[in-house]
Structure 1
Amino acid sequence: LRLNQFIFSPKAQKKKAENLCRIILTKSFQKIATRTISNTMDFNEIHKKDSYIHLFLSFFKYRFMVARWKSEI
């Protein structure tokens, strides 16, 4: 039994991963929101600048990395 396996149960790891993802997402959306207010751009312009697709791809990439890391333990 490895130390990190003992400290982080799968449930704790999942929660940690979800919290981190939530922080990443909320920060990104906050950035978009503040930029919208300061620049008063139209939605299409914002959409082009901060591609939501990229945002969610990075979100799922992180989830995948966590899952892979868990399976290696």
Structure 2
Amino acid sequence: MPNLDRIIRLQTVLTRTGLSRSTIYRKIAEGTFPPQVRISVHGAGWRESAINRWIADPPSYRADNDNRELGPGPV
């Protein structure tokens, strides 16, 4: 069975990173945090693999290094 990349929602991201909501969105705008992916008309989440890469090395994470061909772009 292939290793599927799960989509996780904001509350999970907040818990796993220890960041506040406003800090996450500021870092997305700066390009230093993984962008969201649209999962429905009114919903978005994050690729778990991107969050794991950020957690592994926050200071050197750049969103432009993320693998974009996995699905839709940022919200």
TM-score (norm 1): 0.26
Q: Quick one: higher RCO (CA 8 Å, sep 6+), 1 or 2? A: 1
Answer 1 or 2: which has greater helix percent: 1
Instruction: Determine which structure has more spread, i.e. the larger CA radius of gyration.
Output: 1
